[in-house]
Every structure is written in structure tokens, then in C-alpha cells.
Amino acid sequence: MLLEVVRTGAAVREVPVEAVYPDRTRVFLDGLDCPRRRLLYYLETVARKRREIENEKKVLDHQPASG
């Protein structure tokens, strides 16, 4: 969505919300109990998805128009 916002020049309004995980005793798998490690995982996931979208866009931009 963020890429679409940037591409179209739309505006985004940030709205504060309460903690996503208010239960501090919640247990995550794969070593993601550490909030910093979890944040890095989320950021890496978003970055990977952005790269995938950009690569798909490049492929589509280079395909001949059908018609």
C-alpha cells in the first residue's frame, strides 16, 4: 500500500493505536520474543515484499502490449 501511496502522490494520515500485543507475556515462535528482533523481522519482510513488487513491475513494464 505504501508504494501505491507514493506512486499516486496520495496523503497518509497516521493514527495512533494501542499496543498490538498488550500482553507482555505473549510467546512468539522462532526467537521473536525479543521486540527488537521481531521488529527487524517485520521490517525485513516488508523490504522483501517491496523488492518483489518492484521486480514484478519491471517485468510487466517490459512486456509487449497485447491487443
Using alpha carbons, list the distances in angstroms from residue 37 to 8, 42, 57, 61: 32, 9, 30, 36
Q: Cα–Cα distance between 34 and 28 in angstroms, integer? A: 9
Q: Where in the chain are the domains? A: 2-61
- The 10s digit of each residue's pLDDT in 40-52 is 988 898 899 888 8
Q: Cα–Cα distance between 6 and 17 in angstroms, integer? A: 23
More confident call, 6 vs 39: 39
User: In this structure, which long-range contacts are made by residues 14-18, counting pairs with CB atoms below 8 Å and at least 24 apart in sequence?
Assistant: none
Band of the pLDDT at 65, cuts 50, 70, 90? low
Whether 67 has a pLDDT exceeding 60, the answer reads no
